[in-house]
Amino acid sequence: MPLIESWVVSANSAQSQFPLNNLPYGRYLDHALRLPCTAIGDQILDLRALERTGLLDIGTGDFFQHPSGINAFMEAGSDVWSAIRTRLIELLSNANVEDRDVVAGCLRPMQRTRMAMPFDVAEFTDFYSGKYHAINVGTMFRGAENALPPNWLHIPIGYNGRASTVVVSGTEIVRPNGQTKAPDAALPSFGPSKRLDIELEMGAIVGGSSQMGQPLTVAEADEMIFGYVLLNDWSARDIQAWEYQPLGPFQAKAFATSISPWIVTKAALEPFRTSTPEREINLLPYLNEPSPMLYDIDLSVTLQPEGQVPTTIARTNYNEMYYSAAQQLAHHASSGCAMNSGDLLGSGTISGPEKSQRGSLLEMSWGGEEPLMLDCGKTRTFIEDGDTLTLHGAAKGDGYQIGFGECIGTIKPALPFGRPGDC
């Protein structure tokens, strides 16, 4: 698909993350209010203000007058999503002369706008669907011959995370405290994590809902997905190593998950669909994809120590995933688990086959044995206080790109345990 030209001139630049082909959804802060909006070039279009002009009155209903309007819009389903997208393209395209002044009155500079959480997260499930990541981690802990668990090639493995600590890009992340046990220690100890890590992921956002007891086909699951965000599932590897036996991640993951400020819709990503990799073992029929349901999205991570220049520490692509978000959602609902509008599904760490494509510091430093050399001359095995980690992502078209905005988090020191005066 070629670039759709807009009368918002900045949207037509090949460097813009937000051409008219994109039109992601988010919310910006206006005093205490979180107001629904979309992005076009270097501007934000206030959807509440636009709706009040009557220009979005196309018989689909009013969604954007309330701060939770993005969630109400997601719940409305794919026919409404398509109708609103078509109308926004009409209003912002070069062909629209009549309504330009009215629409322009609803724009505001992105640079002077602070973004809020783009939607209200209902529940959060994180998966473990990157094959190279699973092989790397499994090799470190179990040896190459037992790298993948016996079920890994058959089902998307996942766990239920914490919606309460999913935060928008730019939110500072406090280093977690937790219980850990050194290999040579007789007993565990409690204190700040010493092996703090990132996980480079994509997040899929469920738009529709399903009833308890109702399974979903992969095609139905794909229809329910509203859009995607960049996702950093911060991980305390030393806490995780002690607590995950036998159940899985708990406090090591519960303290924070960062997402990018814009939800890039499935419609915007349609030209970039691609297939999941060839299967080593045939999946059971309920997980078979009827068509390509993964996406070609370039991803990268930068690490910036406080006061220093950033270093790109990884480059990979979302097409490295073994399972698509639609397969993950179908598996999630296969037991009859009810899925809700606003549910967030983390892809799992996205790593490629090369060392430069690893999506976590655990892999990059091989468990701390191979320190990373940064451009500023410093080294890292895991994240230190003051470090800023930034996830970048874009699908590359012909003369344009579909971006997500950056997913940024800066690490602050752990807080003392207990309240002042406690002893």
Residue by residue, DSSP assigns 301-350 as EEEE-TTS--EEEEEEEGGGBSS-HHHHHHHHHTT-----TT-EEE----
In which domain, by residue range, is 139 found?
A: 124-412
User: What is the domain-level CATH number for residue 36?
Assistant: 2.30.30.230
> Could you tell me if 181 and 81 lie in one domain?
no
pLDDT for the residue numbered 421:
47
Condensed to tens digits (0 to 9), the pLDDT of residues 396-418 reads 999 999 999 999 999 999 998 76
Mean pLDDT score of the chain, rounded to an integer? 95
> Nearest-CA neighbor of 125 among 378, 374, 363, 333?
333
Domain boundary at 58, 82, 116, which? 116
The confidence score (pLDDT) of residue 189 equals 95
Range from 43-52, 233-242, 247-256 carrying the lowest mean pLDDT:
247-256
Regarding whether 303 and 192 lie in a shared domain, the answer is yes
Q: In the chain, how many domains are there? A: 2
Mean pLDDT of 41-56: 96
Reference 85, options 63, 117, 114, 67; nearest CA is: 63
How does pLDDT run across 258-290, given as a tens digit for each residue? 999 999 999 999 999 999 999 999 999 999 999
Neighbours of 153 (CB within 10 A): 15
Q: What is the pLDDT of residues 115-158, one digit of tens each?
A: 999 999 999 999 999 999 999 999 998 999 999 999 999 999 99
The pLDDT assigned to 60 comes to: 79
The amino acid at residue 9 is V
Task: Compute the average pLDDT of residues 82-88.
Answer: 97
Of 31, 66, 133, 332, which is the active-site residue?
133
Residue-level pLDDT at 247 = 81
The per-residue pLDDT for 419 is 55
Query: Cα-flanking dihedrals φ and ψ of residue 74, to 5°?
Result: -60, -40
- The whole-model pTM stands at 0.96
Asked whether residue 15 falls in the same domain as residue 46, the answer is yes
Q: Which residues of 276-297 are buried (b: 16+ CB within 10 A; e: fewer)?
A: beeeeeebeeebebeeebbbeb
Average pLDDT over residues 184-199: 96
Same domain, 52 and 128: no
Mean pLDDT across 351-366? 98
> Mean pLDDT across the stretch 218-225?
98
The verdict on 111 and 43 lying in the same domain is: yes
331 is catalytic: no
When pLDDT is cut at 50, 70 and 90, the band that residue 229 belongs to is very high
Band (pLDDT 50/70/90 cuts) for residue 423 is very low
The reported pLDDT for the residue numbered 418 is 66
Q: Is residue 305 part of a domain?
A: yes
Looking at 97, 116, 135, which one is the last position of a domain? 116
Domain-located, residue 4: no
> Do 78 and 148 share a domain, yes or no?
no
